Amino acid sequence: MIHALLLSTLLASAGALRPRTVIVTGATGKTGQAVVRELLKDDQTTIRCFVRNETKAKEVLPEHPRVRIGPVDLEDPENVEQRTLDGDADAVVWCATGLASDGSTLIDQISLPTLAKALPKVSRDAPPNCVMLSSAAVTRPGWSSRKQKKFERSYDIPIVRLNPAGILGKKLNAEKKLARATPAFCVVRPVGLNDDWPRGRPVFSQGDVAVGRSNREDVAAVLVAALDAADARGKTFEMATLKGYPPPSSYDDAFGALAYTPSRRATAATYALVQQLLPGVEQDPTRLEMGRRYEEVDSGAVDRERGAAATDREKAVAAGAAEGMKS
Ligand SMILES: *[C@@H]1O[C@H](CO)[C@@H](O)[C@H](O)[C@H]1NC(C)=O
């Protein structure tokens, strides 16, 4: 029996050494580009970038024999299925997002389940072959009023207040569709992606109470690490970057400690902890306006009253974000 266990362990770790092809959707986006660069570090990995605009892709993606660029219409599941089956494809890192031309459905909802089903099946104890970039806060608009009150400092925050184009609920729906399409999934939900936030230690949590900042390169590293981690399979978690700590040499222990379904008690403890890890000294996300930094709360440049309606300034920022999702 020990031999069978040893063999499966060896095979699992050998998986990463085998030549493989990974599809990246949304590869021209900022996080998508970081994922492509991260995947390139493994010289056994070929990357197929599914893009809408090949001209743009050639401008922003590295010119490399292991980076292939092809046009795909993510609004068209048949095209997605066909393009997936047309070439090698072992796994996907899904970084695409945006509203379809109907103006209400996310392309994730339309094509992510199709792509997941078009990939080769993997064995039960293998790592996930479908890793999705989602977002923290996707469940929060649906919280009960009791839960909103209990976790107020995770609920009364700009993205939940404004929820441009109802994106949070749509992302959550896409996550659910993915989990129904394949057991070999992993969903990574970063908190506030911020280009000014330095690399650091990605810290995972569950229960969707996390607030704070994530560095894009850190998010990319976690998405790619999940592809090789059997312990990341079937799991959904939030991440934030803790500034001042180096990235770890391996995420395996952190993946292993994650639950398939976090308990209520664990979520309450997580909430207490993540609030202490917030940037700045005031550490009160309810005082933030959308598009502002925690440091601006500290300096007094922003001081929103808890529970107040969205300001005109944040409505404008949110409207811009919703508009951006259409292109
Ligand atoms: C594709 O990208 C190029 C270069 O960024 C840009 O000039 C062009 O307008 C884009 N085409 C479409 C259809 O968006």
> Quick check: is 264 in a domain?
yes
Closest CA to 74 of 55, 45, 97, 56: 97
Q: For residue 5, what are the contacts with CB-CB under 8 A and spacing of at least 6?
A: none
The reported pLDDT for the residue numbered 1 is: 47
> Quick check: is 315 in a domain?
no
> Quick check: is 156 in a domain?
yes
* Ligand 1 contact via 327 beta carbon (within 6 Å): no
Provide the CATH number for the domain around residue 219: 3.40.50.720
Ligand 1 atom closest to the Cα of residue 60 is: 5
Enclosing domain of residue 34: 18-283
* Ligand 1 contact via 58 beta carbon (within 6 Å): no
Burial of 5 (0-12, 13-18, 19+ CB in 10 A): exposed
Query: pTM score, two decimals?
Result: 0.92
> Quick check: is 323 in a domain?
no
By most ligand atoms within 8 Å of CB, the mutation choice from 28, 55, 326 for ligand 1 is: 55
- How far is the centre of ligand 1, averaged over its atoms, from the C-alpha of 327 (Å)? 11
SS3 of residue 166 by DSSP: helix
* Ligand 1 contact via 59 beta carbon (within 6 Å): yes
The reported pLDDT for the residue numbered 5 is: 52
> Quick check: is 105 in a domain?
yes
> Quick check: is 8 in a domain?
no
| Bridging pattern class, strands 235-243 and 200-205 | antiparallel
> Quick check: is 51 in a domain?
yes
> Among 60-64, 92-96, 270-274, 302-306, where is mean pLDDT lowest?
302-306
Mean pLDDT of the residues in the chain: 91
- How far is the centre of ligand 1, averaged over its atoms, from the C-alpha of 15 (Å)? 38
Q: Kindly tell me the sign of the dihedral angle through the C-alpha atoms of 97, 206, 271, 199.
A: negative
DSSP string, 196-247: TSPPEEEEEE-SS---S-B-HHHHHHHHHHHTT-GGGTTEEEEEEEEETSPP
Max distance between CA atoms of the chain, in angstroms, equals 65
* Ligand 1 contact via 264 beta carbon (within 6 Å): no
How far CA 184 is from CA of 120, 122, 129, 171, in Å, comes to: 11, 7, 6, 18
For residue 321, is pLDDT > 90? no
Measured by CA distance, the residue closest to atom 13 of ligand 1 is 53
Return d(Cα 175, Cα 179) in angstroms, integer: 6
> Quick check: is 36 in a domain?
yes
- How far is the centre of ligand 1, averaged over its atoms, from the C-alpha of 216 (Å)? 24
pLDDT tens for each residue of 215-243 = 999 999 999 999 999 999 999 999 999 99
Closest CA to 85 of 21, 174, 179, 181: 21
The reported pLDDT for the residue numbered 14 is: 47
Ligand 1 atom closest to the Cα of residue 53 is: 1
The reported pLDDT for the residue numbered 195 is: 86
Measured by CA distance, the residue closest to atom 6 of ligand 1 is 56
By most ligand atoms within 8 Å of CB, the mutation choice from 52, 53, 59, 75 for ligand 1 is: 53
pLDDT tens for each residue of 163-220 = 989 999 999 999 999 999 999 999 999 999 988 899 999 999 999 999 999 999 999 9
Q: pLDDT band for 324, please (50, 70, 90 cuts).
A: low
How many domains does one find in the chain? 1
**Residues 109-130: what's their mean pLDDT?**
96
